[in-house]
Amino acid sequence: MATILIVEDEKNIQLLISERLKPYYTILLANVGKEALDILDSKHVDLVIADIMMPRLNGYQLVETLRQEDNMVPVLMLTAKQSFDDKRKGFSTGIDDYMTKPVNYEELLWRIQALLRRSKIASDKQIVINDVILDSSSYTLTKNNDITELPKKEFELLYKLLSYPGTIFTRNQLLDDIWGYDSESGEDTIKTHISRLRNKVKEYEEFEIVTIKGLGYKANITGGKSNES
């Protein structure tokens, strides 16, 4: 059973979230950011749910501290702050997802499941679809004994799409996730990399890269099941 650390200084909210998640996960509780860091230093945690507004060490600072220490535990920010600037700041500090209060607990469970699934893919460092292996330790795409080494950005783009089969990503999302928020690259960069990828994987029957007109791209699994499902 996965372990979730809830970092929330409002006791009623902390208790409510905890009770909703206890049937599915092992729950640890922290009232403030410093206490959360102590728990993360001493116990295994699979995912953190954190508020922003907390005394002394707020949610942003908590995540910044974790990332500076190379702790890549998934963090879901759960807060009453709803502005675009708040969300931008959260993602820029290194959070993995952002959800606003009041909480829809069915949606919260979906998001937790997705984050844990992504985390497993990241820790495994591979996506496997039948005989196809996408290996992030070597930037290679392998089928049987046929090994294709991909340029870093092409690999990251394919890995992103295949990590979430059926999910549509806009060109801007892909630019932000792979090239970074400060990149001067534009949408033509994505088009070029998608075109190159398609040429390299056109013989693969296990998956396909699909253009969604006016939106972006997605990957479909066309043969077998990937290890992220």
Residue 106, in any domain of the structure:
yes
Q: How many folded domains does the chain comprise? A: 2
Both 44 and 142 in one domain: the answer is no
Boundary (domain end) residue, out of 75, 98, 122: 122
Both 117 and 129 in one domain: the answer is no
Residue 76, in any domain of the structure:
yes
pLDDT in tens, 108-147: 999 999 898 878 766 667 888 988 999 987 889 999 889 9
Rounded Cα–Cα distance for residues 155 and 62 (Å): 31
Both 137 and 39 in one domain: the answer is no
pLDDT at res. 228: 45
pLDDT at res. 118: 78
Both 159 and 209 in one domain: the answer is yes
Question: Which are the contacts of 150, defined by CB distance < 8 A and separation ≥ 6?
Answer: 139, 140, 141, 158, 197, 200
pLDDT at res. 121: 64
Residue range of the domain that includes 154: 125-221
Both 7 and 118 in one domain: the answer is yes
The CATH code of the domain that includes 194 is 1.10.10.10
Q: Is the pTM of this model over 0.85?
A: no
Both 105 and 182 in one domain: the answer is no
Both 161 and 200 in one domain: the answer is yes
Both 183 and 114 in one domain: the answer is no
Rounded Cα–Cα distance for residues 110 and 174 (Å): 22
All residue ranges of the chain with pLDDT < 50 are 225-229
